[in-house]
Structure 1
Amino acid sequence: MAQFLKCPDNVLASNIVPSHVYHYILPELRPFLHNLRPNESTKLVDDDGEEVIQKILDKSNNQLRMYGSAKEIAGNIKIFRNFPESFLFFDEDSYPFNASPVIYDSLNGEKYLCKPDIFTIIQNIALHSIKYPKTTSFHLLLAMVLKSKITQTYGPVEFVKFDEKMFDEIEKEMKEVENESVEQASAQRLYLEMFVLNKNHAAIVSKLRELNPTIWDDAPTISLLQSWFDKPIEQQKQFIFVMLIKSYTMKCIEQIMAKRATLFMSTPKSSPITVRLFEDGEERYVMEAELYHALNRVSTGSDRFEIHNDGLNFGGMDMNDVKKKYGNRIQTIEVCSDVKHKTIPTYFQFIRTPILRTKHRAVPIRAHFSEQFVIPAVDYFFELWKNVILGVKLFQKHQCSDWGKFVPFFHEFDNFFDIEKLPDDFEPFMRNLQKQQYFLRADIRVERVASKSLEQYGASTVKDVRNAKKDGFTVENLKNELKYLGLTNTFPEIQDHAEAVYEDVDRVKKERYLRTCDLFDAVENCQLICVLNRVPNYQKFLHNQKGCKRVFGYKCAHCEREEEVKNTLDIQDSMKNLKIESSNESGSNQYSQPALSAQKDCEKCMESSKTLEETENELKMSQDQLKEMEKKITNTEKELSDSKKEHEKIVESEAKKTEELAEKKEELSKEKEKNQEKEEEILKASRENEELQKTILKLTAENEANERMIEKLLDRISNLSSNNQKTNEIDEKTIEELTPTASVTSKNAPLIIDCLICSSQIKAGQEVIRCPLCKRRFHSNCAFKWRKDHTQCPACNGDLPGI
C-alpha cells in the first residue's frame, strides 16, 4: 500500500513545469515566462522538472537568481504543489496527478483521506498494477478519465476513513484489467480493421466513442486519432488496436470505481463530520466557516450558525476557544501519549492538518465551500511584501525620505492587515481577527495597483542586486549593496540593521558560503524591518499572527514587552510568597504568646508594648530583607543574562571552530581520496606490467615451439627428398592432407601427423579439429585451450571461424 501513497517518478509532464514555476515566483517576474512555453510534445520527466527549470533559468536573463539553483527550485516546487486538488490551482486538467496523497490523523488517532486524494491513489494503483506497456498517452488518457469524475466531488471539503483493505481489493481487481482489456480488444480488432481497409473513419470513431465516451468525446483525442488516418494501413491497424486496448482498460477502471460510487462523489450529508485543525508550530486553529458548517449538521432551529464569507478573508478560531465555546457540542476526545482519556462518543473528527511552507511560498489550502485556495494571513503578508520589495522594487523606484508620501500606498492594504480600523457595519466575525489566526485568498494581488499612487512623485533608475562573490559576502558588502541600490535615500538607518540581518542569514544558509540568493534575502529583510518600524499596525499584526521571528534581524517590541511583563509577574509572585511566609511567621509569633489572666493585663502593658515594638522592628527587618532579596534577584537576572550572552558567544565560537574542523576534515578526506586514486593507478599499472610479462613469456614459448617445428619440417623435407619411392603413387588427396608435420617413412607406412600446438603425434581415434583455411589438424583439447588466448591458427595465422 505504501507505494500508492507516493507520487510516481513518471507522472510529471514537462509541459506543466513552467506553470509550476509561474505560480511559485513573484508576480512581477512572471511575464517573461509566457515566451518560454515548451513547443515540443508532452513528455513525462522523472527529475521533478529540474532539467526544464534549468532551461528556464538559462533564458531568464538572471531574473530568478533569488531562488537559488535549479535543484533547489525543483525541490521547493515539489513541496509547493503537493496538496489536495493542486491540479485546480495550477490549471492542469489534462495531465496526470503529480501530488502525493496524504493520510491525516484525527485527534482521536483515526486515519482519514481527503476525498480528492482517492483519485490519485486510483491512478497510482493503475500505473503499478497494469503491466501493459504504458506510454505517455496511457498516462494522459487515465488522467482524462479520473479528472472527468473528480468534478463530482466538488463541494465542501470532505474526508473519509482510510480503509487499507478496500484499496487492496482495488489493486487485486486492477491486476485483472490487463488480460480482460486485451481479450476484448482482440475480439473487436478484425471488425475495426475492415473499416480501416474501407477508409470508413467515421465508423471507427463511432465505435471507439461507444466503447468509452469519456475519452472519445474529447476533441484533442479525436484529432489525435484522425492524424493517424493519413499513415500506412499497417500503422493505422496497429494504432487502432492499441487504442482499443486502452479504451477497454479505462472502461474497466471506471467500472471498478462505480462499485464504490460514494467514494467518488460529494456526500456532504452522510460523510463524517470533520473539521481541519491547522497546526503551525504551537498554534492550533480551525477555519470558522468549516467549524460552523459542521456544527450546523448537529444543530437545529435557532442553534444554527450563519456562515459569512466575503470571498477574501476567511476567519479562524483558536482551538482553545473552540473547546470553551462549543465543547459540549463537539464531544471529541484528544489522545495524548501521557494521559489516558475515558471513552466519549465522538461526533466531530478534528483532522490534524499541518501548515506547510517552502522558502518563498506557503502551500495553498482549499477553502471549505468554494474552489478558491487560501493561505494564512501571515504568509500572505510576507509574500506581498516580498513582491513589493524585490518585484515592484518600490523603495528603489521611489526614493524619498518623506514617509508621509508613502501613506496612500499603505491604505490599499488596510482591509488585509489594518484590522483595528474596520467600519462599524463590517461583518462581526472579522472583528475577532485582530488576535486570531485567519486566512486570505492566495491569488489576490494589489501591489501594482497600490504602487500607482506614488507615480506622481516620479521614479528613479532601478538597479539590480549584484552577484555575491564565490567565497560569499560580508556585512560591509551588504551595507555597500544597500547604498548601491539607493535604499539609504528612503531609509537612512537601513545600514544599522545590516549586522543583525547578516547574522540570521548566515545562520540558515544552505551551502558553505553565502550566495547571491542569500544576498537577496538580506536586502529584503533590511527593508522589511524599516517598514515595520514605521508602521505600528504592521508590528501588531505580525505579532498577533506569530510571525515576528520569521523576519531576520528583527526585534519585536511587543514580544519584548510581553517578556518583561512575564518576568515582572514572576518576581511579584515570588515576592508575594515571601510576604505570606513572613506574615505567617509574625502571626505565629503573636499567637504563640501564653494567655494572660484578666487580673494581670494591666500589669503587663509595658511588656505587651515592648512586644509590639519588637514585632514592628521584625516586620521592618523583613521588609528590608525583601528589598535586598529583590535586588539580589535583579542582580541575578542581570548576571544570568550576561552569562547567557557569554554562553551564546562561546557556543558561536565553538560552532565556528567545529565548522573549521569539519572543513579541514573534508580537505583531508579529499587528499586521502586522491592518494587512494593514485595508489589504485599504480596497482593497475603494476597489474598491466605483470600481464605484459606473462604475454612476453607466452610469446617466447610459442616462438621456441615454432622454431622446433621448423627444424622438424626441414628434417622431414630432407627425408622426403632422399626417399626413393615414386611420388606419382601419392594421389592428390594425400598431397592436400600432407602437412609439414607429417613424416612419411615408406610407401605402405601410415601417415604420421603431429599437433602443432602440443608438438605430439595425433593418433588414430583421437578427436581432432581442422583449420578450415590451411586444412591443418590439431588435438581437439589443444585447439580449445589455444582458442582461449588466440584467435588465429598457429600454422597459417588466419582466423579460426570454425573452432
Structure 2
Amino acid sequence: MQFLKCPDNALHSDVVYVHVYWYILPELRPFLRDLESYGSMKLVEEDGEEMIQTMLDKSNNQLSKCWFPSLASPVIYNSLNGEKYICKPDIYTVVQNIALHTIKRDKTDSFRVLLAHVLKSKSMRTDGQVEFVKFDEKMFDEIEKEMREGETKSLQQAWAQRHHLEMLLLAKNYAAIASKFRELNPTFWDLILSTYLEPLQLLSRTHLAEAKELVFIMLSNTCVINGIEQVMAKRASLLMSTPESSSITVRLFEDGKEKYVMEMELYHALNRVSPESERFDIQNDGFVYKGMSFECVKAEFGDRIQKIEFIRTPILRSKHCAVPIRSHFPGEFVIPAVDYFFEFWKNVILGVKLFQKHQCSDWGKFVPLFRKLVELFDSEKKQQYFLRADIRVESVASKSLEPYGVSPVKDVRNAKKDGFTAQNLKNELAHLGLTNTFPEIQDYAEDVYEKIDKAKKERYLRTCDLFDALENCQLICVLNRAPSLKKFLHHQKGCERVLGYRCEQCKKEKTMSDALEVSQQPAEVQKTSDIQNSMKNLKIESSGASMLNQYSQPALFAPKDYEKCFQSSKVLTETQNELKMSQDQLKDMQQEITNAEKELSDLKKESEKIVESKAKKTEELAKMEGELNNEKEKNQEKEEEILKASKENEELQKTILKLTAENEANENVIQKLLDRITDLSISNQKTNHIDEKTTEESTPTASVTSKNAPLVIDCLICSSQIKSGQKVIRCPLCKRRFHSNCAFKWRKDHTQCPACNGDLPGI
C-alpha cells in the first residue's frame, strides 16, 4: 500500500532537525544549537536532506552519516492468529500520507504545517492505552476517493467566498477577515492563527495582488482541512480512543528467540475478559515496567488468554540510540532495560569519554557510579523489563567523579583508506590513554577485532568501525570489573551484543543444554557417545602416563598388577568391540537416513516437476481460453459483418430487379418506337421522297449513308451495318437484330445475347 510510505514532501528541515537532535549523543547536542544560531537553518528551509548535509559539513567530522535515522512509517502488525492490525495513532499518519499524496496545494508549507497540527491535535486524543484495530486497506482507498472529491468541493466553496474576502481586503478590514476564518472552522482557529499570524500582520504591508493570493491560499487551505475533518468524522469510532469497543489486544514483544509482554498491559487485557472478583490492580510502577515471558504467561493464565489477540511486535533498534516504545500508561514511553544499558554506556564511553578523562587503574573511585546504577540495572530480575525513556543518568557519571582530576582527552584518529588491523586497534587504545585505566584492555583487542571485521558493511574497516571496537573493548573491561552488571546483562539476554565478550554463564548454560539434548537422544546414541568419551579419557590418561614415563624410571609389574592390567585390557577389548558394533549400527542408521533423505529429495523434485507441469498446463489452458475468446469475438464480429453485408446484398438485389424491370420496359418502348420508325420509313419510301432535313429530324439515332438511304442498324457482334436484303436473326427478348452468320458464330461460344445478356434459344 503506497500510503504506508512517508511522502518526500514530509522531509522538512525542522522535522529532520528535531529527529536528529534526539538521536545523536547528548554530548554533541550543543553543537546543533550552535548550528541553528549560525543561521544555517535559513539556508535549507525546504529540504531536509540538505539540512543533514549542512550538519555534516559544519560538524568538524564529529557526526557520521550512519547516525541519522529515517522518518518512521506506519507499521502493519501480524497477530499470532495471522490477522493484520494497525495501531490507532498510526491511522492519523496514514491519513496525513493520503492527504499529502492526493491533495496538491500551494507551493509553500502552510497546508502541510496546518495539516500536521490538526492531525496531531486529534491523535493526542488517542494518547491513552495502546489500541489496535484490524487493518482494512479498502477503508483507506475510500478515504483517498473522498479526499479527492472533497478537495474539488472545498475549492468551489473557497471560490464562492473569495470575492467577499477581497472586498474586505480592499476595505483593509483585517479583523473581519480573521472573523471569517474563525467562522469557517472555530475548533482549530488558534492553530490557524498561529500558522498564519505573520501573514495576517503582513497583509497591510503587502502589494494588493500578493495579498489577494495569500488570502485565497488561507481560505482554500481552511476549506480543504474542513473537508478532511469531515472524512475523518465519518470514522470517529475507529479513530477515537474507545477501549470498550476495540479488540482485546496485547503486544507480544519479539527479540530474537525471546518473546515477552508488558505486565500491566497484560493485566489490563485480563481484566476485560475476567469476572470482577478476579481483577488485577493496575498501578504505574514509576521508572521500572515489569515484563513477563510468553512461556510464563501461558503457564500461569492458560485458557484465560484465549480471548486475547497477541500482536507480534518486534523490538526495533538503531545503531546508536534505543527506540522508544509506547507504554501502557498515557503519554509515557519506555525502553527495554538492556537497550537503555547499551545507550547509557555508549554515551559514557564515547560522549562523556569517562575513562579517558579519569585515567587511573584504581577502580575504587568508580564504585560510587556503579552503586547508583544498581537501581536501574537490576541483576536480580530474570525477566525482561523496561525503563522509562525520559530517565537520563549520564550526568551521574561526571558528577560522581568531580573530586578527582581530569586528564586531557585525545581524539580518535581516522582509519586508513584500506582499513585498520588488530595491532592498529591496540595502538589506538594506548594512544587514548585507556591502558592506564584498564591495563588488560589490549588483551581483548584480538577477539573484538575479529567480530568487528566479520560485521563490517564495507570492503574495508572504517573510522566508525574503529569507534565500535574501542567501545566494545572498554565495555568488556567494565563487565569484568562489575559482576552485578555482568549478571544483569546475562539475564536480559544481551551478552552476544558485546562483540568479543565471552560470558561464562552463557557457556555453562550451553553445556547444560547440550547435555540435556544428548540425554533426550536414543539409548544407543547415548551409549556410543559415552564410549567415545571413555575412549577419549582413556587416551588422555594413557597419554599422560606416557609423558610421566618419559621422566621416570621403568618398574616391574607385580602379579596382582598384571592381573589388573589383564582385566583392564579385556574390558578395553570388549568396550572396543561394543564401540565398533555401535559405530556400525550408527553408520547403518546414517545410511538409512541418507537414503531416506535422497528419496525425499527425489519425491520433492518430482512433486516440483508435477506442480511446474500443472502450472504450465494451467497457463497454456488460460492462454488457449484467451485465444478462443478472442476468436469468438472475431467470429462474432465477422458474423455481424456478414449479416450486414447480406442485408445490403438483399437490398441491392431488390434494386437490381427493380432497375431490370424498368430497363426491360424502357427497352420495349424503345424497340416499339424503332419498329414504328422503320415501318414509317419504308412506307414513306414507297409513297414519296422525304426531304433530307426532315429525315434527319425524324430518325436522330439512325446511321444514314446517303440522302435517300433507309434507316441504318448496326450488328453488335461484327459492329458492321445491316444492309437491306441481308438475312438477320432477332433476339426474342430485346428484339435486337444481328447478321445470321454472326449469330451462328456467336452461338457456338456464347449462350447469352450480346445486347441484353439474356439466354438465346438454339439456332
Q: TM-score, normalised by structure 1?
A: 0.64
For residue 92 of structure 2, the aligned residue among 112, 119, 122 is 119
Aligned to 2:331: 371
Matched to 1:73, the amino acid is W
Hey, what does 1:522 align to over in structure 2?
469
The answer to whether the Cα contact below 8 Å between 1:104 and 1:112 also exists between their aligned partners in 2 is: yes
Cα pair distance change 1:626/1:254, threshold 3 Å: farther
Alignment of 1:234-383 (within 5 A): 234-331=209-306, 347-383=307-343
Letter in 2 for 1:111: K
Which position in structure 2 is the counterpart of 1:449? 396
The change in CA–CA distance for 1:535 and 1:623 in structure 2 (over 3 A counts) is: farther
- Look up the match of 1:589: none
| Percent identical residues | 64
Q: Give the SS at the match of 2:376.
A: helix
Structure 1 CA distance for aligned equivalents of residues 180 and 520 of structure 2: 85
Indicate conservation of the 8 Å contact 1:205/1:216, yes or no: no
Match of 1:415 in 2: 375
Q: Matched residues in 2 for 1:489 and 1:246: separation? A: 64
The whole-number CA distance in structure 1 between the counterparts of 2:333 and 2:297 is 24
- 2-structure distance, mates of 1:146, 1:546: 39
**1:54-82 deviation per Cα after TM superposition (whole angstroms, max 9, x unaligned):** 21122223322xxx3x3x334xx11xx52
How many equivalent residue pairs?
541
Measured after TM superposition, the shift of residue 438 of structure 1 is 1.1
- The amino acid across from 1:400 in the alignment is C
TM-superposed CA distance for 1:385, in Å, is: 0.6
Match of 1:390 in 2: 350
Counterpart in the other structure of 2:34: 35
Task: Determine if the alignment matches structure 1 residue 154 to structure 2 residue 127.
Answer: yes
Between stretches 315-324 and 441-450, larger displacement belongs to 441-450
Aligned CA RMSD, in angstroms, stands at 2.8
Answer with 569-578 or 117-126: which moved more: 569-578
Partner of 1:406: 366
Taking the aligned partners of 1:628 and 1:539, their CA distance within structure 2 comes to: 46
Between 1:462-471 and 1:249-258, the stretch displaced more is: 462-471
Inter-CA distance 165–130: structure 2 relative to 1 (3 Å threshold): same
Give unmatched runs, 5+ long, in structure 1: 83-99, 332-346, 421-433, 582-616, 637-803
The residue aligned with 1:460 is: 407
- Distance across 2 between alignment mates of 1:570 and 1:50: 53
How far does residue 351 in structure 1 lie from its aligned partner after superposition? 0.7
One-letter amino acid of the structure 1 residue matched with residue 359 of structure 2: Q
Q: Which residue of 1 aligns with 2:616?
A: none
Give ranges in structure 2 of 5+ residues lacking alignment.
529-566, 587-763
Q: Cα distance 1:578–1:484, how it changes in 2: closer, same or farther (>3 A)?
A: closer
User: In 2, Cα distance between the equivalents of 1:403 and 1:41?
Assistant: 49
1:470 aligns with 2:417: yes
Equivalent residue of 1:495, what SS?
helix
Q: What is the distance in 2 between the residues matched to 1:128 and 1:573?
A: 59
Decide whether the 8 Å contact of 2:358 with 2:405 is kept in 1.
yes
- Residue 162 (structure 2) aligns with: 189
Kept in 1: contact 2:357–2:409 (CA 8 A):
yes
Q: Which moved more, 1:567-576 or 1:489-498?
A: 567-576
Asked whether the 8 Å contact 1:131–1:178 carries over to 2, the reply is no
Asked whether the equivalents of residues 145 and 215 of structure 1 are also in contact (C-alpha less than 8 Å), the reply is: yes
Q: Deviations over 1:364-385 (max 9, x none)?
A: 1111112122121111111111
Corresponding residue number in structure 2 for 1:213 = 186
| Cα separation, 2, equivalents of 1:465 and 1:627 | 64
What CA deviation, in whole Å up to 9, does each residue of 1:739-789 have, x standing for no partner?
A: xxxxxxxxxxxxxxxxxxxxxxxxxxxxxxxxxxxxxxxxxxxxxxxxxxx
Please state how far the C-alpha of 1:566 moved relative to its aligned partner: 2.9
What is the letter of the counterpart of residue 475 of structure 1? A
Residues 675-686 of structure 1: pairs in structure 2 closer than 5 A: none
Q: CA deviation at 1:325?
A: 1.1
Q: Name which one, 1 or 2, has greater alpha-carbon Rg.
A: 2
Q: Is 1:73 matched up with 2:33?
A: no
* 3-state DSSP of counterpart to 1:457: coil
Say which SS state the counterpart of residue 160 (structure 1) adopts: strand
Q: 1:110 aligns with which of 44, 62, 83?
A: 83
2: CA distance between counterparts of 1:192 and 1:138? 19
**Is 2:322–2:339's contact at 8 Å kept on the other side of the alignment?**
yes
- Cα distance in 1 for partners of 2:520, 2:155 equals 81
For the residues of structure 2 that align with 1:497 and 1:628, how far apart are their CA atoms? 46
For residues 105 and 394 of structure 2, the distance between their equivalents in structure 1, rounded to whole angstroms, comes to 51
Distance 1:243 1:504, change over 3 A: same
**Distance in 1 separating the partners of 2:226 and 2:127:** 23
Residue 261 of structure 2 aligns to a residue whose secondary structure is strand
Alignment of 1:10-89 (within 5 A): 10-37=9-36, 38-40=40-42, 43-45=45-47, 49-64=48-63, 68=64, 70=65, 72-74=66-68, 77-78=69-70, 81-82=71-72
Deviation by residue 1:285-339 (Cα, 9 ceiling, x = unmatched): 11111000111112233311112323211111111111111121111xxxxxxxx
Please show how residues 629-668 of structure 1 align to structure 2 within 5 Å.
none
Q: Secondary structure at the match of 1:262?
A: helix
Q: Secondary structure at the match of 1:546?
A: coil
> Mean alpha-carbon deviation: is it higher for 311-320 or for 620-629?
620-629
In 1, are the aligned partners of 2:126 and 2:240 still within 8 Å (CA)?
yes
Structure 2 distance, partners of 1:465, 1:32, is 18
Task: Tell me: CA distance 1:326–1:622, structure 2 relative to 1, closer, same or farther (3 Å).
Answer: farther
CA contact 2:7–2:101 (8 Å) conserved in 1: no
Aligned-partner Cα distance in 1 for 2:483–2:215: 69
Amino acid at match of 2:313: T
Structure 2 counterparts to residues 560-639 of structure 1, below 5 A: 560-570=507-517, 621=571, 625=575
Measured after TM superposition, the shift of residue 418 of structure 1 is 3.1
Return closer, same or farther for 1:628/1:542 CA change in 2, 3 Å cut-off: farther
Aligned-partner SS, 1:375 = strand
**Distance between the aligned counterparts of 2:480 and 2:576, measured in 1?**
40
Change (3 A) 1:253 1:402: same
Paired residues of 1:130 and 1:177 also in contact (CA < 8 A): no
Q: What is residue 543 of structure 2 aligned with on the other side?
A: none
Letter in 2 for 1:502: Y
